Amino acid sequence: MTKKNVFLILILLVLACALPFVVSNYRTFQLTLVLVYAIALLGLNILTGYSGQISLGHGAFYALGAYCAAILMDKAGVPYWATVPAAGAVCFVAGFLFGLPALRLEGLYLALATFALGVAMPQLLKYHHLEKWTGGVQGIVIPKPEAPFGLPLNADQWLYFFTLAVMLAMFVLGWNLLRGRVGRALTAIRDHAIAAEAMGVHNALYKSTAFGVSALYTGVAGALGAIAVQFVAPDSFNIFLSIVFLVGIVVGGLASISGALYGALFIQFVPNIADEISKAAPWAVFGVFMIGFVYLMPTGVAGAVRLLSARRRTP
């Protein structure tokens, strides 16, 4: 972590804190969603980028986190800030459990299994025996939290800062995790699983834990997202959400923490642009972007940035 990088990050932080006071509430709301997606994408990146396990079903964990928060707030009167760690914990367990059988699956097969999870999730959420808690197809409406301690912030601004704080905490945690032994073990497993096992890396434990941690991150994002949007309904969390997350990490950059932020900006703002280009086929534009990035910038925006700064450094 060079001094220059630390300086850059500090500048970004100051900018991030200043933004809600400069832009409209609507933009602040959008930026809050960007932060939420960044957390979700970091989660997916831990699994797919660093640990090499493809997931086409992370929307399911996002949904789980969102519903955790909604049910706790709506049925148990839990304050909003407590639902975030709760959602994280529940999703960690769920992710770990799903990761156990998924251990034996590689590449395309794992993609297929997670694809199935992503497709089946909305129907599970609508299951009428669970309706008492999930609100069934009507979903659950969540009230918006106000700034505490009488701070001079409106609800949108407060939520932005709350999300920013959570995001920073999650990013620092993630950075520590991935930089250390765990990260190295995951990368070893990704690059050559059999060699890693032979070297003493306990594949099964690390892979399941990676699934659990990844789900935890995405679940936290889901909870924050639910609080921001103030509404959860089963059909918000269909397979397209999982696909959007995948697009986010590919565009942002795999195995990269900053990539999560680039990817989040992409998936939040590009659909709006795509809408302008062609009201008729916005997803087609999205798809073309996806292919373009895979061909031209396979390391994503983060990779391109790294390349550029490396090129500038060498004389």
Residues binding another protein (CB under 8 A): 24-27, 29-30, 33, 48, 54, 56, 101-102, 104-105, 107-109, 111-113, 115-117, 119-120, 123-124, 126-128, 136-139, 141, 194, 198, 225, 229-231, 233, 235-236, 238, 240, 243, 246-247, 250, 254, 271, 275, 278-284, 286-288, 290-291, 294-295, 298
Residue from 155, 128, 124, 126 nearest 142 by CA: 155
- Asked whether the beta carbons of 159 and 144 are under 8 A apart, the reply is yes
Structure tokens at 127: 């299951």
- In the complex, what is the shortest distance from the CB of residue 19 to another protein, in angstroms, rounded to a whole number? 16
- In the complex, what is the shortest distance from the CB of residue 122 to another protein, in angstroms, rounded to a whole number? 8
- Asked whether the beta carbons of 250 and 290 are under 8 A apart, the reply is yes
Structure tokens at 111: 């993609």
Nearer to another protein, 5 or 278 (CB): 278
Q: Side chain identity at 202, as an amino acid letter?
A: H
Nearer to another protein, 96 or 286 (CB): 286
Beta strand residue intervals within 135-192, DSSP E: 140-141
- In the complex, what is the shortest distance from the CB of residue 100 to another protein, in angstroms, rounded to a whole number? 10
- In the complex, what is the shortest distance from the CB of residue 228 to another protein, in angstroms, rounded to a whole number? 9
- Asked whether the beta carbons of 133 and 244 are under 8 A apart, the reply is no
- In the complex, what is the shortest distance from the CB of residue 314 to another protein, in angstroms, rounded to a whole number? 26
CA distance 272 to 228: 19
- In the complex, what is the shortest distance from the CB of residue 146 to another protein, in angstroms, rounded to a whole number? 13
SS3 49: helix
Residue from 105, 64, 59 nearest 247 by CA: 59
Nearer to another protein, 7 or 127 (CB): 127
Nearer to another protein, 294 or 307 (CB): 294
SS3 217: helix
Residue from 239, 216, 264 nearest 94 by CA: 216
Residue from 41, 96, 91 nearest 64 by CA: 91
Nearer to another protein, 107 or 180 (CB): 107
Nearer to another protein, 18 or 141 (CB): 141
Indicate left, alpha or beta for 201 from its phi (over 0: left) and psi (-120 to 50: alpha).
beta
- In the complex, what is the shortest distance from the CB of residue 266 to another protein, in angstroms, rounded to a whole number? 13
Nearer to another protein, 53 or 258 (CB): 53
CA distance 244 to 218: 13
- In the complex, what is the shortest distance from the CB of residue 30 to another protein, in angstroms, rounded to a whole number? 7
CA distance 14 to 5: 14
Nearer to another protein, 21 or 149 (CB): 21
